[in-house]
Structure 1
Amino acid sequence: MRRFFPAIGAFLLLTGLLTAAPREADAQDARAFVANLGNQAIQVLGPSVSPAQRVARFRQLFQNDFDVPGIGQFVLGRYWRTASPQEQQEFLRLFQEYIVQAYASRLGEYGGEPFRVLGSRPAGDETVVTSQIDRPNGGRVMVDWYLTNRGGGLKITDVYVGGVSMKVTQRDEFASVIQRNGGRVDALLAQLRQRLAAAR
């Protein structure tokens, strides 16, 4: 019996080491993914780029690197289940373009401040990568990127800026619009169309 416990301990240690290695590899991949995304954004989205180019380039980054269907479904919340398939598809299309237009214009204000990846940590089946942007006035902005593996590749599922979740903020905003209009998803779709038309 005494020899049994060391054997179990060795087994647990071995399995712990075997599972830790893939997790660390996943964390390294996630950190490299965010660092590469940050560098791409700095290069293609700076103030020297025209607004039209900035929108086109950010659209490509958003489509390639973010889990747009998953984020969109989360943002629509419980109303996703009550929306028709046509409304779901139109929402995803409008939501993607709304985010692209809104954030591309904000990125035009970015002045090339240093972007640094600080580390990562596991969060359930996701990996959180923490980064920092140093501001010219000496301040700093902390950004947490939530990533998961979707279909063999990493995708961003949420971004926290200063502790505030991008997708939770959008969900609250959109839910407010739907609730003010009797739970009708088509009211949100109409408002998104209006906002996009005004931005053009």
Structure 2
Amino acid sequence: MRHGMVVGLAIVSAAFLCASVAFFAASAPPRGHAADDAKAPKDSFDKNVIDIGVIVSNLEKAAAFYKNALDFTELDGFAVPASMSKETGLTDGQAFKVRVFTAADKNKATKIKLMEFPKAPPAKVDTTYISSSLGFRYITIFINDTTASLARAKKAGATVIKEAYPLAGGEDYLSLVRDPDGNIIELIGPKL
């Protein structure tokens, strides 16, 4: 089941995009000479996926949600030292650790990067509806079995907003659940 899942774009706040871009830039291997850049594909992307940084209020609780409710696999995480955090503009100098999760092959799938800042918790945005706040508002996960995915999410204590809404023109259903911070996760797939 896990290997059939593919994560789509979209999440809760512009801050997440900034953090993800900064993490990618900081962890990407340096580019070579101009000649190497000339060989880059026309679209200029090294990967055909993106990674998403999610700021959470409780790292352990969020990690359990992504593992147990969504069936993600945890990969090796990493720490960002205070000096790098400040010099890159990610934070005001707070060191933090990042836990990394994926739904499929770790080299070819989007990664969710969870992090928290307990010394200076960020402000919570309104997550009532996707139209309640600016920025990335939800992520989409394409699943193999709506019934099994919802059962797993419920067993793990996820808040279900909508179960198995039939989508026009096919066999897929849309379901919505919330993570521990209230962020919306969209699940799309067939009912088996």
Higher Cα Rg, which structure: 1
TM-score, normalising length from structure 1? 0.24
Q: Identify the structure with the greater helix proportion.
A: 1
TM-score, normalising length from structure 2? 0.25
Q: Identify the structure with the greater strand proportion.
A: 2
